[in-house]
Amino acid sequence: MWPGCDKTYRGRNVTYWTPYREDATFRESIDKAVEWMTDATTPANLVFLYVQEPDTVGHAYGPNSSYVVEELKKIDENIGYLYKMLTIFNLLDTTDVIVLSDHGMVAVLEENIIDLDQIVDPKLYHTSGGSPVMHIWPYGDLLDLYIKFDNGAKTHKYTVYQKKNFPSGWHYTNNSRISRLVLVADRGFKAPSFSNVDVYPLLCHLLSLPPGPNNGTLKDIGTVLSHPAVAELAKPLLIALGCLVILVGLIGILACVLSRRDRRAVSADSLINGYVHRRVMRSESSKLADDDASEEECLLESEVVTVEL
């Protein structure tokens, strides 16, 4: 139900898929999704539904047209149908529904339309793509054509990029389908509060899967969760910190035990000066039998001195 879902990745495909059909209705896709999710043997835990509207009519007639309004009404009705089916099959409380779009739309006033033919001779290049991103394929010298478009950007609201100078965050250079020159119209609206690349880590979080390398973050999009993702991410950090404290404590105890074992007895007359730890050990067998022994001799016989090494 997704364009390209019939293709494999590294020799593997998803568990369930059906070839993409432009004439498939939203309701047909919903029924198929619920069928997969209620499979008795292998119920699906992640399903993608693609709906081509209102994209098609939006591009053809503009976002403010009556055609777009009618398509939005149909979409609203079908999302209601989706929730109804999830309720019937007792899936509503265990299912997260995420509604996304690949891009937004804005009406362009006639005076803001950029006519490239008035800027650079169209015989010097051909194009692919469409508004607001246009791929330029030069017939002749690349640098000469770049200079012409760059000069035009000084009086028109667009930016021209050479392929080698694309912003690194785009990840838009390593593909033969990308032209060596790209024109991007200036934006006249504010970007949403989170980026589309944040959707991937969100899905991984909901499915309890470790995400692969990506540029997304839960910092902004995590606010849509009933249980903030920040708290969930803090749990492993707190566990790691607790383990570290315990480990440091065990190492300290072990060091003290080994230190005590390293103490050895020395006689008092072998010490000249310094800090010592004295312990008097009296043993009846070590007392002098001769009553005439001097006080110093008695002390040396009965005293054992230990020193920390």
* 111-185, CATH topology level: Gyrase A; domain 2 (3.30.1360)
Mean pLDDT of the chain: 79
**What six digits make up the tokens of 139?**
């017939």
**What six digits make up the tokens of 36?**
């997969």
Q: Compute the distance between CA of residue 117 and CA of residue 71 in angstroms, rounded to an integer.
A: 34
- Three-state SS string over 151-207 comes to HHHCCCCEEEEEHHHCCHHHCCCCCCCCCCEEEEECCCCCCCCCCHHHHHHHHHHHH
Give yes or no for residue 270 having a pLDDT over 70.
Answer: no
Please report, for the chain, the start and end positions of each structural domain, with discontinuous segments joined by +: 1-106, 111-185, 264-307
Give yes or no for residue 5 having a pLDDT over 50.
Answer: yes
Q: Compute the distance between CA of residue 113 and CA of residue 93 in angstroms, rounded to an integer.
A: 48
Per-residue pLDDT reduced to its tens digit, 45-81: 999 998 889 988 988 888 899 999 999 999 999 999 9
pLDDT score recorded for residue 237: 62
Superfamily of 1-106 according to CATH: Alkaline Phosphatase, subunit A (3.40.720.10)
Question: Cα–Cα distances in Å, from 220 out to 168, 228, 231, 267?
Answer: 21, 10, 14, 71
pLDDT score recorded for residue 229: 59
Is 20:4 a contact under the CB 8 Å cutoff? Answer: yes
pLDDT score recorded for residue 263: 56
pTM of the shown model = 0.54
Better-scored residue on pLDDT, 297 or 72: 72
pLDDT score recorded for residue 123: 93
Instruction: Name the least confident of 1-5, 87-91, 249-253.
Output: 1-5
pLDDT score recorded for residue 151: 94
Strands ordered across the beta sheet of 277-280: 264-266, 303-307, 277-280
Q: Compute the distance between CA of residue 79 and CA of residue 50 in angstroms, rounded to an integer.
A: 13
Better-scored residue on pLDDT, 7 or 305: 7
pLDDT score recorded for residue 274: 43
Which segment, 54-68, 70-84, 247-261, 292-306, is predicted with the most confidence on average?
Answer: 70-84
